[in-house]
């Protein structure tokens, strides 16, 4: 394996970072996202946040919601990811 394949990609911060948030109920997932963002940042943080349209799985059991938020560094990105993943209403975060 070449060394370049083992290196982490270079990400220039601050940047817009996209998450895909998966759960069972669209309204509950939206509420969990808002609560997580309020927990991770000051309530009126003024950062650009976009919560995209939901998509249902083929069987209708799951819903995925796109979330894009500005993060200042890798640590902040990881904190947001973990805060979302720790919510019991959220089944998976990508």
What are the structural domains, with CATH classification, of the chain? 13-93 (3.30.70.260)
Angle made by CA atoms 70, 74, 75, in degrees to the nearest 5? 100
How much of the chain is in helix, strand and coil states, percent to nearest 5?
Answer: 35, 30, 35
pLDDT value of position 1: 45
Single pTM value for the model: 0.86
Angle, CA 13 vertex, CA 65 and CA 11 arms, to 5°: 80
> Residue 73's pLDDT is what?
95
> Under the phi-then-psi rule, with left for phi > 0, alpha for psi from -120 to 50, and beta for the rest, what region is 46?
left
pLDDT in tens, the chain (94 residues): 455 677 888 999 999 999 999 999 999 999 999 999 988 887 666 788 899 988 999 998 999 999 999 999 999 999 999 999 999 999 999 9
- Distance separating alpha carbons of residues 82 and 69, to the nearest angstrom: 14
């Amino acid at each position: 394996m070449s060394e370049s394949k083992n290196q982490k990609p270079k990400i220039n911060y601050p940047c817009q970072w996209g998450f895909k948030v998966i759960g069972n109920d669209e309204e509950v997932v939206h509420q969990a996202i808002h609560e997580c963002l309020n927990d991770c940042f000051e309530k009126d943080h003024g950062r650009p946040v976009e919560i995209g349209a939901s998509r249902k799985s083929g069987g209708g059991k799951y819903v995925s919601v796109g979330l894009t938020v500005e993060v200042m560094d890798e640590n902040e990105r990881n904190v947001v990811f973990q805060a979302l993943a720790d919510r019991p209403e959220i089944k998976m975060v990508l």
